[in-house]
């Protein structure tokens, strides 16, 4: 399976995405597949008018596209663009949208984890899942960057492998940062 194209986000694309609802829309389209504004409105608890405006903005900035194979003259379907978004925070010092974007990512990760904990899973899935936290590593910035590169390469190995049609969607969250 070929690797997904990589999109390096710039300030303009970051500002277009850095809104909690737009991030939720993109997250939902990536996780659940194509949807209409009506479907998304129901899932996200928003009006179709609000959703339509945010969908057009996301499309204008290339995060989503119309799924013309599903659409009709009356009904527009949207899908996430199949790419990996890479953001280098050091390229955008002081950018207000960066804080909004990263805060929304943390919220989405927390919400996913909370949903997992609230749901009823088989013992097999409970044993396979993990919530791990290491507070005692002492690393240099270079070592932390190397650790992150290794973790991402490992996830890429699984993401690039043929996907099992009988498998379940899995959320992998990686957070690594210094603490004082």
Rounded Cα gap, residues 33 and 126, in angstroms = 25
Residue 37 has pLDDT above 80, yes or no: yes
Q: Report percent pLDDT > 70 for the chain.
A: 98
Tell me the pLDDT tens digit for each residue of 83-110.
Answer: 888 888 888 888 889 999 999 999 999 9
Question: Is the pLDDT assigned to residue 1 strictly greater than 70?
Answer: no
Residue for token pair 């991030």 = 23
Which range, 52-61, 69-78, 164-173, has the best average confidence (pLDDT)? 52-61
Question: Are 59 and 94 contacting, i.e. CB atoms less than 8 angstroms apart?
Answer: no
pLDDT for residue 125: 94
Query: Is residue 85 exposed (0-12), middle (13-18) or buried (19+ Cβ within 10 Å)?
Result: middle
Are β-strands 6-8 and 84-86 bridged in parallel, bridged antiparallel, or unpaired? Answer: parallel
- Please answer whether residues 58 and 17 qualify as being in contact, where contact means their C-beta atoms are separated by less than 8 angstroms: yes
Q: What is the pLDDT of residue 2?
A: 61
Distance, in Å, from the CA atom of 175 to the CA atom of 135, rounded to the nearest integer, reads: 12
Share of the chain above pLDDT 90, in %: 58
The residue extents of the domains of the chain are: 6-122
Residue with tokens 């710039």: 10
Listed residue (63, 77, 74) closest to 23, CA to CA? 63
CATH says 6-122 is which class?
mainly alpha
Alpha carbons 172 and 7: distance in angstroms, whole number: 20
> What pTM did the predictor assign?
0.78
């Amino acid at each position: 399976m070929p690797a997904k194209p990589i999109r390096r986000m710039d300030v303009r694309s970051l500002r277009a995405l850095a809104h909690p609802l737009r991030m939720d829309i993109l997250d939902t389209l990536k996780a659940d597949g194509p949807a209409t504004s009506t479907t998304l409105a129901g899932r996200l608890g928003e009006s179709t008018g609000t959703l339509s405006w945010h969908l057009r903005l996301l499309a204008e900035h290339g995060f989503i596209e119309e799924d013309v194979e599903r659409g009709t003259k009356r009904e527009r379907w949207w899908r996430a663009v199949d790419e990996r978004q890479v953001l280098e925070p050091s390229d955008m010092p002081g950018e207000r949208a960066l804080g909004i974007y990263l805060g929304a990512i943390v919220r989405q990760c927390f919400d996913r984890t909370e949903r997992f904990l609230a749901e009823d899973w088989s013992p097999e899935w409970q044993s396979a899942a993990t919530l791990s936290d290491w507070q005692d590593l002492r690393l240099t910035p270079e070592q932390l960057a190397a650790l992150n590169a290794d973790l991402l390469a490992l996830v890429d190995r699984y993401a690039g492998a043929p996907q099992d049609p009988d498998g379940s969607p899995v959320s992998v969250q990686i957070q690594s940062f210094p603490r004082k």
